[in-house]
Amino acid sequence: MPIEYPAANGGGVLNEHSAVRNTVGLFDVSHLGKASVIGEGALDYLNSIFTNDLRKISDGQAQYTLLCQKDNGGVIDDLIIYRYSSTHFLLIPNAANCQQVLEQISKDAPSGFEFKNLHESYALFALQGPKSLDVLKDLGIDVNLEYMSFMESELKSEALIICRTGYTGEHGYEILTSWANARKMWDLFLEKVKKYSGLPAGLGARDTLRTEMGYALHGHELSTDITPVEASASWALAFDKEFWGKNALEKQRAEKKHRRLAAILVNDRGIPRVGMEIKDQDGKKIGYVTSGTFSPSLKSGIALGLFDNPISIDSQVFIDIRGRLSQGVIKRLPFQPSKVK
């Protein structure tokens, strides 16, 4: 997945970002992991491990969840789980964490479970933007999906798995197709995307889009050193059941001494970047930037930052950008209204 596609072909981060917000964009996210867990009792077993409650979704639905460390609640990975049945699940973890996720969840599993790394079985595309459904219909794919639900379909006799989800805040879909026929499928989708004035989109646009929405990125807002409680991801923690790291996270939440994630809108021309220090008006360090970029929608620098103590909306802060203090203000997320319903 490139940072951006050639500007000579209409690409570039700003154009790709605009296409997703206004028409449609096509991302090749085949680097993401894919794995399956099959076996009698799989629902109960996985539900005892992952933070969200798989019992709250039905067959044909998907769920965002977290795999946490048992001792301190740090995040090994965040992922989406597709529920085919109570005995069959498809996992979409982050690229670098797929094998680790499989190793962790299979290590103490009861006998009879089948764990498969399917990374080289499937390619994965993300079709995102207000015209994404038009693209699917134009390809002859009949789609009527609620958010976070999936279906099986086909295109040119090629099997597809289509899930209505995404990482941009726009109406969109993630599409699994066979690795062997990925190029053929990409070309078919891209032809229709361009028909609707859309573009292929790369990592740069993915980052500006998801930061505008305040969506966490593993290794930035979530990591083995940053818990879901600190990262404002408690909504994905089902404390009325067991999961790895539950005791540590309950204690952290109750004590209220943890770091907090907050959003910053920069009021000058500064562009915040990962790792930059955040300071108060007295020049004291109060946190650091976990994600920072230029927002094409707001025409301003924006950031997500991890703060040592609670901080109020509309508070003034300063980001140390290579020795120059850039002034910003704490804002509620998302920076842009979500169009996902």
Cα–Cα distance measured from residue 226 to residue 291, given in angstroms and rounded to the nearest whole number:
14
Q: Do 7-31+121-212 and 35-117 show the same overall fold?
A: no
Domain 7-31+121-212: which CATH class? alpha beta
Q: Which of 8, 48, 20 is nearest to 202 (CA)?
A: 20
Helix H or strand E encompassing 64: strand 61-68
CATH number of 259-335: 2.40.30.110
Burial class (CB in 10 A: 0-12, 13-18, 19+), 308: middle
The DSSP symbol for 332 reads: P
Sheet containing 158-163: order of strands: 150-155, 158-163, 172-178, 122-128, 25-28, 199-201
231-242 residues labelled b (16+ CB within 10 A) or e (exposed):
bbbeebbbeebe
Which residues touch 16 (CB under 8 Å, ≥6 apart)? Answer: 4, 5, 25, 199, 200, 201, 202, 204, 205
- 35-117 fold: Alpha-Beta Plaits (3.30.70)
Question: What is the pTM assigned to this prediction?
Answer: 0.96
The DSSP symbol for 246 reads: H
Domain boundaries, the chain: 7-31+121-212, 35-117, 259-335
SS3 state of residue 46: helix
Helix H or strand E encompassing 127: strand 122-128
Q: pLDDT tens digits for the chain (341 residues)?
A: 899 999 867 889 999 999 999 999 999 999 999 999 999 999 999 999 999 999 999 999 999 999 999 999 999 999 999 999 999 999 999 988 999 999 999 998 999 999 999 999 999 999 999 999 999 999 999 999 999 999 999 999 999 999 999 999 999 999 999 999 999 999 999 999 999 999 999 999 999 999 999 999 999 999 999 999 999 999 999 999 999 999 999 999 999 999 999 999 999 999 999 999 999 999 999 999 999 999 999 999 999 999 999 999 999 999 999 999 999 999 999 999 998 87
> Rounded to 10 degrees, what is the CA torsion of 341, 312, 306, 273?
80
